[in-house]
Amino acid sequence: MNLTAARLFEILRQLPGATCCHIALSGGLDSCVLLNLLAELRSQLPYDLHAIHVHHGLQRQADSWQTHCERVCQGYDIPLETVRLTLNVNSGESLEAVAREARYRAMAEQMGEGDLLLTAQHLDDQAETLLLQLMRGSGPAGLASMPPLTHFGPGWLARPLLTFSRESLEAYAGHHNLSWQEDPSNRDQRFDRNFIRHQVMPLLRSRWPAAATTLSRAARFSGELLMLVREEAEEDLAKARSKDGDTLSIAALKQLNSVRLRNLLRHWVSATGAPLPSSKKLARIEREAVHGRIDAVPLITWEDWEVRRYRDRLYLCRARVIDLPNQPLIWSNGDELVLPEGLGRLIARPGEDGISAAHWQNAKVEVRFRHGGERCRLFRQSHHRPLKKLFQEWGVPPWQRSRIPLIFLDGELTAVPGHCVCGPPLARSGEEAIVVEWVNG
């Protein structure tokens, strides 16, 4: 398919409305073609055009690429924002992956609410991406490769050139006498994508000339399948999710077959913002946390996340090692106390069914964390009860109990924020009261 401004305009018309459109401009052939097309269509577009150039500093030519982008944008009278990055690549990490992630993160930071970001990936890029994902053993999300449109940052990311081949972009650039910068690293076949581009794709085309088009079509079909898979996961998740939205019902999960269960778990983890666990970790969650013995205490960790089970609930949370203070925290000034180790803050405010305000103002207020043996006398009960037993009745998971701040007045356990007020300090009817709220995280 030949690339023309009219054909691109028809694609752009189907994108979400926006007041500002950003173009990812590397200075290479693809992005220079996209910028030229948009400049030609400017009078027909409902949004302002801005270009973003990310300077990685990885190549000796990086400064000249920036200069080229500045000159091109000046010629089109399109504002350009250059973002300079300093990349830190850890041992075992892919430079290509780290640079890509940093680049997209930097571009997202330049966007406003509802803005569009356009990138210039084309049909051949899509075919290469599908082959890469196949070799990684990816599931439906990976095989869908690059979607034409997706939520991104505060707005949208669109790839309007996915149906056009690299050859058609080259023809357009030649016809319009465009200039661009060549990245020598695109020839380095140590990178998987370049190996596919220069070795694998030519071999495939020698047998199947339309290989890029066919592979891109397969990616599109995978994307459509992915939509159905996600819709099913949403339905299953709604049935399994607890009222507070933080946990899943084990009983509901057991009603699903293995395929639907793993699909739900992937969707749940992804929606939380956590990285997806490996297939082995996912199998452990299914085997140990969902179908394991009822008296087991499973713990499955990956990166800095973990899945645990308590009673009928499945929990997904950050894996945190917290060094809790052994000494009490003195709460002597103000209505707020910031807790250590990122455990949030405590806020004392007027309220009902709280601690007697008079007692609060005259007592020594301390915050402690559980050491064991704490006891509490609940309202209208004549005797103290072990806090451990109360936590069990309240359904507080064991790993969370030591992190709950406990309020002591004059050395006596007086309140467990979010759960109860203990003993005589409870305000009487008509008496001013203080409620302690725990804002966690």
Residue 133, both tokens? 């994902």
* pLDDT value at residue 92: 65
* 298 φ/ψ sector (left φ>0, alpha ψ -120 to 50, else beta): beta
Quote the percentage of the chain above a pLDDT of 90: 58
* pLDDT value at residue 260: 95
* pLDDT value at residue 125: 95
11-25, 299-313, 410-424: range with lowest mean pLDDT:
410-424
* pLDDT value at residue 127: 95
Quote the percentage of the chain above a pLDDT of 70: 97
Residue 307 has pLDDT above 70, yes or no: yes
Residue 268 has pLDDT above 90, yes or no: yes
Q: What is the CATH number of domain 5-223?
A: 3.40.50.620
Average pLDDT on 231-254 reads: 91
6-10, 242-246, 305-309: range with lowest mean pLDDT:
242-246
CB under 8 Å, gap of 24 or more: what pairs does 253-259 form? 253/290, 253/314, 254/290, 254/291, 258/286
* pLDDT value at residue 172: 96
When pLDDT is cut at 50, 70 and 90, the band that residue 37 belongs to is very high
When pLDDT is cut at 50, 70 and 90, the band that residue 432 belongs to is confident
42-56, 259-273, 349-363: range with lowest mean pLDDT:
349-363
* pLDDT value at residue 362: 85
* pLDDT value at residue 175: 95
* pLDDT value at residue 138: 84
Average pLDDT on 60-78 reads: 92
* pLDDT value at residue 185: 80
94-103, 143-152, 333-342: range with lowest mean pLDDT:
94-103
* pLDDT value at residue 190: 85
Q: Domains of the chain: which residue ranges?
A: 5-223, 243-318, 329-439
* pLDDT value at residue 441: 62
Q: What is the CATH number of domain 243-318?
A: 1.20.59.20
Q: What is the mean pLDDT of the chain?
A: 90
43-52, 321-330, 379-388: range with lowest mean pLDDT:
379-388
* The 3-state secondary structure of the chain, one letter per residue: CCCCHHHHHHHHCCCCCCCEEEEECCCCHHHHHHHHHHHHHHHHCCCEEEEEEEECCCCCCHHHHHHHHHHHHHHHCCCEEEEECCCCCCCCCCHHHHHHHHHHHHHHHCCCCCCEEECCCCHHHHHHHHHHHHHCCCCHHHHCCCCCEEEECCEEEECCCCCCCHHHHHHHHHHCCCCCCCCHHHHCCCCHHHHHHHHHHHHHHHHCCCHHHHHHHHHHHHHHHHHHHHHHHHHHHHHHECCCCCEEEHHHHCCCCHHHHHHHHHHHHHHHCCCCCCHHHHHHHHHHHHCCCCCCCCEEEECCEEEEEECCEEEEEECCCCCCCCCCEECCCCCEEECCCCCCEEEEEEEEEEEEHHHHHHCCEEEECCCCCCEECCCCCCCCEEHHHHHHHHCCCHHHHCCCCEEEECCEEEEECCCEECCCCECCCCCCEEEEEEECC
* pLDDT value at residue 5: 94
Residue 77 has pLDDT above 70, yes or no: yes
Average pLDDT on 110-127 reads: 95
* pLDDT value at residue 91: 66
Average pLDDT on 76-105 reads: 82
Residue 102 has pLDDT above 80, yes or no: yes
pTM for this one? Answer: 0.72
Distance CA 417, CA 271 (A): 28
Average pLDDT on 47-53 reads: 95
Average pLDDT on 325-333 reads: 87
* pLDDT value at residue 257: 95
Residue 197 has pLDDT above 90, yes or no: yes
Residue 70 has pLDDT above 70, yes or no: yes
Residue 50 has pLDDT above 80, yes or no: yes
Residue 431 has pLDDT above 80, yes or no: no
